[in-house]
A = this chain, B = another copy of it.
């Protein structure tokens, strides 16, 4: 279990919270994007980006000139948030409508990874996350490309998951209300791949 801190104490609906690193890892692995929040001159900034996980670290990358990557490399305090929506919860009462979801919030500071071999291994993991088995087939990064890309690693040390699942929870008095109630599942689905012009022409 991750240590419970003041920032990961569940005030609302504590039964939905978890500090289980396996649950946290599974949510991080399924999500394609996260938001990274930091403080800029006392005000919050939160930007979407791609993340991936290797062991007990979450990884991020960006161009050398990217403000977000620079901010992370400088050791800024971060809050990383990941959300997967699993369903629309349609209750009998307007009040009890909800969503099923799995989310993770992580706190901490990232460190920049500069070793080229470690960087390349991380990018292997990123491409394998997007398309398992693909890395062996693509043109690998050159030393110049590796140098042009900043790699940041955030330890999964302080954070938590939050999960809602299952049917609506209506008040007893509303159970006879004449309306359909239940869950509409939602899921990020992959469609038919679309070859680019050169790839389509080659086949």
Q: Which residues of A are interface residues toward B (Cβ below 8 A)?
A: 7, 11-12, 32-33, 35, 37-39, 42-48, 50, 63, 65-67, 77-81, 83, 85, 88, 90-95, 97, 99, 101, 103, 105, 107, 123, 126-127, 130-131, 134-135, 137-142, 145, 149, 167-168, 174-175, 177-200
20 interchain pairs, CB-CB under 8 A: A12-B66, A12-B67, A32-B99, A33-B101, A37-B79, A42-B42, A44-B77, A45-B79, A47-B81, A90-B193, A93-B141, A94-B135, A94-B138, A94-B140, A94-B141, A94-B145, A182-B196, A185-B192, A186-B188, A186-B191
In the complex, residue of chain B having the shortest beta-carbon distance to the beta carbon of A33 = B83
Give CA–CA (A67, B174) in the complex, Å.
29
In the complex, residue of chain B having the shortest beta-carbon distance to the beta carbon of A95 = B145
Q: Is the CB of A139 within 8 A of B92?
A: yes
Q: Is the CB of B194 within 8 A of A185?
A: yes
Give CA–CA (A77, B198) in the complex, Å.
47
Give CA–CA (A110, B4) in the complex, Å.
30
Q: Is the CB of A138 within 8 A of B48?
A: no
